[in-house]
Every structure is written in structure tokens, then in C-alpha cells.
Amino acid sequence: MQHLLLIRKLYDLKTVYRDIPIQNKYESSAEHSRSAMLLADYFMDKLQLNLDRAKVFELLLYHDLAEIEIGDISLADTEARKNKKKAEYEAMEHIASTLPSFMGEKYKALYEEFEGKETPEARFAQAMDKLDAQLQCFNTPDHELDKMKEAFLPYSEELLRQQQQKHFTDFPEILDFSDKIIQFYKDNGYLSEE
């Protein structure tokens, strides 16, 4: 029972909200992780990728746990992003130290693999993380589009291409899909000109 009480802290990811609204609310980081896992499942099958599916799911399940302590840092918040890696690492270390030891060690290993991008699974998980963020407007009802466009104003085409598309280089089909999403945003007035 003690271990279960310790891992309840991880449920706090449900209370960390991201900066883009979807369907009358803001998405939580936990919802984002689940959505990224669904995208991963789809693309692993569609592209017939020979990846360790369980590893990809674990990487995505754990990848944003540091946000429990530091929150979600927007792509457009260039000042906060300067120290993001350090803050995430320190948060990961602290959270791992509060978990049952076997789970803390697992979290550390998954964090290092995800951030290191040394394995095909980590690179793919990173791509799904970024692609999920790009897909947000497609869940927005028509009456919420103005709110979505306002949320996207800090983002430019250049920022999205520079900060996100580098994660798709190993997956040309996903890069092509990302290009189409960014073009949709541009054509429909979601992105700033800067």
C-alpha cells in the first residue's frame, strides 16, 4: 500500500495544463501523453515501423512527469526555455527520489533515453510528442477557432519548423504530415508573421 501512495504523486500530471485550448478547456499534460501514445500506435502500424512498441509507450508515458514540478513550458516562452533542460532534469531527479526505488530508477532511465535520442524508439517518441502538439487545432470546434488562433499568435511558421521539425528527420512521412499541418496553420491565419 505504501508504494501505491507514493505513486499517487504522478497523478498530479492531470493538473498541469498546456497553453493551447481544446474544446472549451486547456489540455492537461497527462492528456497530451495519452494522445501522443495514440499517435504512436497509429504511425507504428501505418508506417510498419520495427520498433519496440512497449518501449515507445513507456517513453511517452513518463516523458513529461517533470512538469508536475515545473509546469509546461510553452514553445513560445523563449526566456523560460533557456533553463528548461536543467529545470526538467532537477525535477526528474526529485520526483524519482520520491518513488519506490525500482520505479524511480526506471523513470531516470526512460528520461535519459528520451532526452538522449540515442535509440530509434526515443527519436520516434520525441516525434510523436511534437506532432501531438501540432495537431491541437483539429480538435477545436468552429465556435472556438478564434480562441485557438489567439493562443497560436506567439507562434510563427519559422518557430514551428525550427523547434519541432528537427524531431521528424528520421521519419520522412511524419515530416511531410507536419509540413501539411504547418501549411494549414499558415493558410488559416493561426501563425504570426514573425
Q: What element of type H or E holds 48?
A: none
Rounded-to-integer distance, Cα 130 and Cα 168, Å: 9
Q: How confident is the model at residue 11 (pLDDT cuts 50, 70, 90)?
A: confident
Global pTM reads 0.88
Q: Residue 93: its pLDDT value, please?
A: 95
| 72-88 burial: b if 16+ Cβ within 10 Å, else e | bbebbeeeeeeeeeebb
Q: Residue 142: its pLDDT value, please?
A: 65
Q: What is the mean pLDDT of residues 4-9?
A: 77
Residues 30-49 pLDDT 10s: 899 999 999 999 999 999 99
Q: What is the mean pLDDT of residues 146-168?
A: 74
Residues 98-138 pLDDT 10s: 999 999 999 999 999 999 999 999 999 999 999 998 887 66
Q: Report all structural domains of the chain as residue ranges with CATH numbers, in order of start.
A: 2-187 (1.10.3210.10)
Percent of the chain with pLDDT over 70: 87
Q: How confident is the model at residue 149 (pLDDT cuts 50, 70, 90)?
A: low
